[in-house]
Amino acid sequence: MKKLIFFVIILAVLGCERNIPPVIPDNNIIYRRVKRVVDGDTIVLDGNEYVRLVGVNTPEMNYPSGPPELCATEATAFTDSLTDGKDCYLVYNTSVGDSLDRYGRTLAFVHILPDSVCLNVEIVRAGWSMVYDKYPIRPDYEELLRSAESEAEENGRGLWNPTENCSSHRIKW
């Protein structure tokens, strides 16, 4: 038993350093398929479940009511490139907040398989969102998000340098 506990602790520590998800005590993880991307911070899973990515707020696509906000096209394309037809699993935010937003979307952290990369963190790391705390963020993920935001800012990625990174500059957000 001591060896098992030691192994789980080692995995948790290594996971935090490599953006691998925290060890989840529940072995009943449900794998899902990403069906489509609505915009940079919302995806649709099999079963038509809409998921709002916690800690992320990308520029809005504004369809069908108007043109996309600055960098929205790039943010949406980035999310699509990481998720297109891939399997994933969700880590819910219920320990610190609600499980659904006011539009009925599931609030979660999405881990893309096969390597379990956290989509939420990678969007921030690429600079397509700053850390967004409208919905409370689990502390284990907030640390990852803040680190990714610092990295994006230091390297002028995405929104941190829209003149270089975004094709349309006519709409400010």
Q: Which of 32, 52, 125, 157 is catalytic?
A: 52
Q: How many CB atoms lie within 10 A of CB 82?
A: 18
Active site residue 157: no
Taking the C-alpha atoms of residue 71 and residue 171, their distance in angstroms, rounded to an integer, is 9
- Distances in whole angstroms, Cα of residue 50 to Cα of each of 14, 44, 105, 120, 129: 31, 5, 5, 15, 19
**Inter-helix orientation angle 2-17/139-154, to 10°:** 30
Q: Which of 60, 69, 74, 122 is catalytic?
A: 60
Active site residue 33: no
Q: How many CB atoms lie within 10 A of CB 74?
A: 23
Q: Which of 32, 69, 74, 105 is catalytic?
A: 105
- Distances in whole angstroms, Cα of residue 147 to Cα of each of 74, 77, 125, 127: 22, 23, 8, 12
Active site residue 52: yes
Give catalytic residue positions.
52, 60, 105
